[in-house]
Amino acid sequence: MVKGLTTAKSLWKLTRFRVDDSKELVELRDLSAQADISRAHTDFVANASHELRTPLASIVGYIETLTTPKAGGDPITRNKFLDTMGREAKRMNSLVEDLMSLSRIEAEKHERPQDKIDFASIITHAVRDVNAVQGHEKVKLDIDVEDATVPGDRGQLDQLVRNLIDNAIKYGDSDKPVSVSLDLQSDRWLRFSVADQGQGIAAEHLPHLTRRFYRTDPGRSRASGGTGLGLAIVKHIAERHKGQLDITSTVGVGTTVEIKLPIR
């Protein structure tokens, strides 16, 4: 193996063949892509294991504590511990569901969906459901397009919409509304936008937001039930639908996520 032949992280395989007594053939094969994929898989497994290990360790610790007569026999302590164990178990379940979802989306990424989907209907239903849970009109909706039909996968587009709205509610200002809009950017693109009025995200974090398990504030993300996979899932769904994802943010003002989907 030859390292760093073209770049610092490149990896090449060099093989020498003897043709005859006076000639030799040298073959160079670039293995950089395979090495990058291998490193990505290793990092993914390590991150997933870490994310699962943390709540699992917490659950095991509380179970061991509850087996002691002093803690297990006190109703207040027992109920407090059981509540925490329930939260950690739900967090693990959400993480497993997101991992399975991401795996399915990646497996289908080269199969472009062809069903005719009314994207406006998906957004309308998602906003209605969220506002019903919130108990008030937390999400303001503005649809400015007559025909929002796109070729797509209904389940994945619904997941994309709900992930973005859920993120905006989690990380936006709790006292201010989330703005959701859908319009026609040109005769080729539908533009779906979700904007919050939260703390905003520093510019250095923006290029990394769609990486798996990347968090700008790990403590806050875990406390709100985030798995660190939401935007990675959104990115892969957008890519499967030949769409475009754009994230803009200003610290102290808020964050806007735009998804552009081709009409045909």
Which CATH number belongs to the domain containing residue 212 in this structure? 3.30.565.10
3-class secondary structure, 18: strand
Average pLDDT over residues 78-91: 87
The model's confidence at residue 225, banded by pLDDT at 50, 70 and 90, is: low
Average pLDDT over residues 117-128: 96
Share of the chain above pLDDT 90, in %: 44
- Residue, of 214 and 10, whose pLDDT is higher: 214
Question: Where is 155: in which H helix or E strand?
Answer: helix 154-171
Residues 45 and 83 both lie in one domain? yes
Residues 24 and 37 both lie in one domain? no
Q: What is the pLDDT of residue 119?
A: 96
- Residue, of 84 and 40, whose pLDDT is higher: 84
Q: What is the pLDDT of residue 149?
A: 93
Residues 8 and 136 both lie in one domain? no
Closest to 237 measured CA to CA, from 93, 98, 46: 98
Which range of residues forms the domain containing residue 23? 2-30
Average pLDDT over residues 214-243: 81
In the β-sheet with 11-18, what is the strand arrangement from edge to edge?
2-3, 11-18, 24-30
Amino acid (1-letter code) at residue 109: K
Answer yes or no: are the C-beta atoms of 255 and 200 closer than 8 Å.
Answer: yes
Q: What is the pLDDT of residue 164?
A: 96
pLDDT at residue 203 tops 80: yes
pLDDT at residue 221 tops 80: no
The model's confidence at residue 140, banded by pLDDT at 50, 70 and 90, is: very high
What global pTM score does this model have?
0.73
**Structure tokens, 188:** 């080729």
pLDDT digits (tens, 9 = 90+) for 151-199: 999 999 999 999 999 999 998 998 999 999 999 988 789 999 999 999 9
CA 141 to mean position of chain CA atoms: 23
Residues 24 and 122 both lie in one domain? no
Residues 41 and 99 both lie in one domain? yes
Residues 55 and 148 both lie in one domain? no
Q: Three-state SS string across 21-73, please?
A: CCCEEEEEEECHHHHHHHHHHHHHHHHHHHHHHHHHHHHHHHHHHHCCHHHHC
Question: Where is 258: in which H helix or E strand?
Answer: strand 254-262
Residues 78 and 58 both lie in one domain? yes
Residues 80 and 123 both lie in one domain? no
Residues 92 and 203 both lie in one domain? no
Longest Cα separation, the chain: 87
Q: What is the pLDDT of residue 178?
A: 96
How many structural domains are present in the chain?
3
Angstrom distance (rounded) from CA 214 to CA 230: 10
Angstrom distance (rounded) from CA 73 to CA 85: 17
Q: Give the CATH number of the domain where residue 48 resides.
A: 1.10.287.130
Mean pLDDT estimate for the chain: 86
Residues 67 and 123 both lie in one domain? no
Answer yes or no: are the C-beta atoms of 47 and 33 closer than 8 Å.
Answer: no
**Structure tokens, 113:** 């969906």
Q: Which range, 11-15, 93-97, 128-132, 208-212, is most confident?
A: 128-132
Q: What is the pLDDT of residue 35?
A: 63
Answer yes or no: are the C-beta atoms of 201 and 248 closer than 8 Å.
Answer: no
Question: Where is 220: in which H helix or E strand?
Answer: helix 218-223
Q: Is 192 exposed, middle or buried (0-12, 13-18, 19+ CB in 10 A)?
A: buried
Average pLDDT over residues 206-213: 88
Q: What is the pLDDT of residue 229?
A: 87
Residues 143 and 204 both lie in one domain? yes
Question: How long a stretch of residues is the chain?
Answer: 264
Of 107, 129, 145, which residue is a domain's last? 107
Q: What is the pLDDT of residue 106?
A: 82
Question: Where is 192: in which H helix or E strand?
Answer: strand 189-195
Residues 239 and 160 both lie in one domain? yes
Q: Is the dihedral of CA 148, 181, 241, 244 positive or negative?
A: positive
pLDDT digits (tens, 9 = 90+) for 12-42: 788 888 888 888 888 888 776 766 666 656 6
